[in-house]
């Protein structure tokens, strides 16, 4: 029980400091800092925040709509059937658990970015780079 409490404190203490700082109108180490909701008013009034929140929700709901049914089907196939190749499929399905999202994102940029190897191969094969833009919802021109 003591281990759980220490672990919980180690995780929640930094979050508590961040939450406390978000409720101040100045850095917490300044004696003149007082409680205020100005930081939240500033963020919620910013149109860029609303656009980013909308994009985040679209990605979150879209990924959930893809991942849950696909994960359910793959789990059923691996565990409940004698599908050929399920011995190699199961470890392959666990790769995202063991790879950092930063590593996956870096690989995505290296492959599909403006000078990524897939983009350059496409350009070499078809004469111009494809119109995808991995940094925005809008297609590049």
Q: pLDDT by residue (tens digit) across 5-60?
A: 999 999 999 999 999 999 999 988 899 999 999 999 999 999 999 999 999 999 99
- Sole residue written with tokens 């350009």: 123
pLDDT tier, 86 (very low <50, low <70, confident <90, very high otherwise): confident
Largest interatomic CA distance in the chain:
68
| Mean pLDDT confidence for 64-92 | 92
The rounded distance, in Å, linking the Cα atoms of 108 and 8 is: 35
**Arithmetic mean of pLDDT, 107-123:** 93
pLDDT in tens, 116-140: 999 999 999 999 988 888 888 766 5
Take residue 52 and report the two structure tokens written for it.
């980013």
Q: What is the DSSP string of 12-35?
A: HHHHHHHHHHHTBSS-TTSTT--B
Give the confidence band of 97 by pLDDT, cuts at 50, 70, 90: confident
The tokens for 101 are 């999202």
Exposure letters 4-29 (e unless 16+ CB within 10 A, then b)? eeeeeeeeeeeeeeeeeeeebeeeee
CA distance 108 to 17: 34
- pTM of this prediction? 0.64
- Collapsed DSSP state (helix, strand, coil) of residue 32: coil
Q: Which pLDDT belongs to residue 29?
A: 87
pLDDT band at 77 (very low <50, low <70, confident <90, very high): very high
């Amino acid at each position: 029980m003591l281990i759980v409490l220490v672990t919980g404190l180690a995780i929640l203490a930094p979050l508590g400091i961040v939450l406390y700082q978000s409720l101040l109108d100045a850095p917490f180490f300044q004696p003149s800092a007082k409680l205020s909701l100005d930081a939240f008013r500033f963020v919620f009034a910013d149109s860029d925040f609303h656009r980013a929140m909308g994009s985040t929700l679209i990605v979150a709901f879209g990924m959930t709509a893809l991942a849950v049914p696909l994960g359910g089907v793959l789990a059923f196939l691996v565990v409940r059937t004698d599908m050929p190749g399920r011995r190699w499929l199961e470890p392959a399905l666990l790769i995202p658990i063991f790879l950092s999202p930063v590593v996956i994102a870096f690989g995505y940029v290296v492959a599909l970015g403006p000078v990524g190897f897939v983009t350059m191969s496409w350009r070499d094969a078809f004469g111009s780079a494809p119109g995808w833009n991995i940094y925005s919802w809008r297609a590049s021109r």
